[in-house]
Structure 1
Amino acid sequence: MNAMPANSGQARSPRKYDRLIAAAKAVPPAQTIVVHPCDETSLRGVIDSAAAGIIRPTLVGPEGKIRDTASKCGLDISGFKIVDVSHSEAAAAKGVELIHAAEGEMLMKGSLHTDELMRSITAKVGGLRTNRRISHVFVMDVPAYAETLFVTDAAINIFPDLDAKRDIIQNAIDLYTQTGFGKSPRVAILSAVETVTQSIPSTIEAAALCKMADRGQITDGVLDGPLAFDNAIDVEAARIKGIRSEVAGRAQILLVPDLEAGNMLAKNLAYFAKADSAGIVLGARVPVVLTSRADSARARMASCAVAALYANARRQQAPTVAA
């Protein structure tokens, strides 16, 4: 067994997020609705991103609790607008309402549960649904890998079907191209093996997704699959298996078979490979920043940066309008 991964020869220092944050600083700050930022971690993330010029926040939650937390932690929120609501569920509903009123172009999760926020976003009446399936992308800075790596979906869709996977891929491609990562990203559709077999349904769906791309049902990306993880990200592993494609060994977007696989993959990269992971929800009317209490300060700012760049790209296409 090699002492280092085959990609280590291509690896660069982990500065991918630095370039991402610098790009976000170069565009106008995004008007951001921050839902229930009632602990030190979420408030500090807002303050850092605002100080960097990435976001212009409006805080939505119990005003007394927000100010008390800021005071106890020595945080200055005097320049921020606060919309006072009584509790986290009300904050999520109010945040969505403010988006409809064109008072924000992205949402940011504070200290409430993800489920609370997503219930308001996905509500059939008054939510932020579009004709695209809502999905999540981890934008990962893996020190041992030359590319910024997108992992999707590891947080929203538990067992996505073929149509859902089509939207999940398209959401990730749109994020990649519209936030300045490049054009025609290489998308690896992951399974346990690289051959199509009836006994593993994800391999059949991978083959169907590739054909959907051939027919224009998925656009602006280069797809290959099924691919096992090793031959998706390692050139030598792909060569040994005799896989020749633009994607094999050089993937930029990884579509996982289901949420469990994606969650384990992302956490393995975070804890074993020491990757930073920025999280963003796509497919709603506005991008949504999902952060975790375990995120580093750099990862939190990177989450805001990628969402702000995406909001800026959408701003160029058409301004947010009230509904």
Structure 2
Amino acid sequence: MNSEPFLRYQKYFAQRLAGALVSGYLGKGSTEPKLVKIIEHIVQNLDGFHTKGTIDPYSFEISTNALFIHGNKSQVTFDCYGRQVQRELGDLIFIVSLVFQNAKYVEKVTINQFKKAKEQTRIRSWDIRNKEQLYLLSKFPEFQGVQGSYFSGPTYLLPNISGCLGSYGLLHAPGDFVFIGAELLDSFINPRKSAILQETHLSSLQPSSVSYLAPCLDVQSRNVLMNYVFETPELLSLEMFYSHRFAYDLFDFSKKYLALGIGEPVHMIANFGNQLVKTFLGDLLGQLYSSCIFEEDKPVRNFIENFYTHPYSGDERKYLNTDSYCVGGLGSVGIIHTEINIQ
């Protein structure tokens, strides 16, 4: 992470994100850009971004592939305080994977919802009035995709061990964002008032905005996990055992994301991780894959095939579930996948 190629990638990753947001905010004839267009800009700016480097005796490659699926907003249904409600799951899914000797050792994911800052206000603020969606992304009650969703079919009950399976990207001009875990956001929003989150509220979050994942494991599992670190200290950083739930700007987000420090751990070395979320991800990508039946769908299939090129270390199960087919069309969603491959 201290090598020049890695640091250059980290800085350029943030700059490409910033460029996408600037073009979204300053698009011709668009004073109030649609979030879907901003997501498309992000996908276009990051797709195919890669670099290579060498730190003796290892060589590494970092690559980001991005995908945007056009369609209606993907909706899920769930119970929220005794009411059955329907909300979108998220706008953009960030995934980061560490591959070592052709196997995935670490993989983390966060489902992110974008919110634009309120325009023409003296204090930068975001309206988080959609409490039902915040409820979904912070608590993850049992939910089911509605007809036409990219994961319609079974119901899902997902543990949120890191507190960062769901998150928000709080956008603001000219082209930046604040990243915050949905669980952390929910902890200090006043439910009795219209939820106006001000930037001044965010400045106090840094000390309490990170969770340590290793205590979630039993003693034997934790000892096995730490043995990997001590046997290969030059390869594995303790950062991967943390989940940052707050990043003040794009450069802070890029640093933490590329260090494997953001998101729910769906897989960790020695086959630790959130198996239920890993299965959900396989169902989601499997339905996307099965729905690609036309020639123009090849980029989607290529993205998914590349995502599953490397097996999970210590886990021989095939997670890409192509048995089901999404009837009624796909919802819109963006997926950003960064892979750090060490040989």
Q: What is the TM-score normalised by the length of structure 1? A: 0.27
The answer to which structure has the higher strand fraction is 2
Question: Between Structure 1 and Structure 2, which shows a larger proportion of helix residues?
Answer: 1
The structure whose RCO (Cα within 8 Å, separation 6+) is larger is 2
